[in-house]
Amino acid sequence: MGVAFLPPLFHRYNRTFFAQAIPYDRLRLRWSRRMSRAAGSYRRRGDVAEIVLSLPVLSPLPASATRSTLVHEMIHAWVDLVLRQREGHGPCFRAKMEDINGQGTDLTISIRHHFPVPPTPSSWQARCDFCGTTTPYQRRVKGLACRACCGRFNGGRWDRRFLLRFEPRPSRVRGEARWG
């Protein structure tokens, strides 16, 4: 597909799923050519929040992948800016995700999604023994805990039960994009 113009999609979904509660004037929406490890990301610095979608990951995929990724990031924005919760993929996020998935649209929102991403030079992967997921890393990082498990079982706070174990990354494995 081509590159979707994001504001009309944002407004449509803000109306359909969020009662227009996400403050558009506090949010930047943009595509990134450089972000290739994740399909999308949401972040906020002070008062300025930003949703970024990855051009390399999403442009080869069907349009539904862009829409689903946008809505995923919009749930992060809603949890952060409207509910003012700090939780990552925590209970508020998941409840909203299930609500949207249950509405019978063509959107499928998930916490993790298997998109083919361009191969990365990562030589390590971090494994969470609790949930079994692995995430590629370029180098080892001490003291990291699995974000998904901390969000799911510990209210988004770090917990040593979910410490990641670094292991050499098998070569020629294609990367797996996480929803940011």
Choose the catalytic residue: 73, 87, 98, 176. 73
Pairwise CA distance, residues 75 & 70, whole Å: 9
Question: Would you count residue 110 as binding Zn ion (CB under 5 A)?
Answer: no
Q: Which is nearer to Zn ion, 29 or 128 (CB)?
A: 128
Question: Would you count residue 70 as binding Zn ion (CB under 5 A)?
Answer: no
Pairwise CA distance, residues 42 & 69, whole Å: 11
Pairwise CA distance, residues 112 & 120, whole Å: 18
Q: Which is nearer to Zn ion, 99 or 171 (CB)?
A: 99
Six-digit token pair at 37?
């490890």
CB-neighbour burial class of residue 151 (10 A; exposed 0-12, middle 13-18, buried 19+): buried
Question: Would you count residue 130 as binding Zn ion (CB under 5 A)?
Answer: yes
Question: Would you count residue 179 as binding Zn ion (CB under 5 A)?
Answer: yes
Near Zn ion by CB under 5 A: residue from 35, 149, 164, 177:
149
User: Would residue 167 show up in a list of annotated catalytic residues for this protein?
Assistant: no
Question: Would you count residue 86 as binding Zn ion (CB under 5 A)?
Answer: no
| Stretch in the footprint of Zn ion (CB under 5 A) among 28-36, 47-55, 94-102, 143-151 | 143-151
Six-digit token pair at 57?
């990951």
Pairwise CA distance, residues 65 & 68, whole Å: 5
List residues with catalytic annotation.
73
Task: State the residues that interact with Zn ion by CB under 5 A.
Answer: 128, 130-131, 146, 148-149, 179
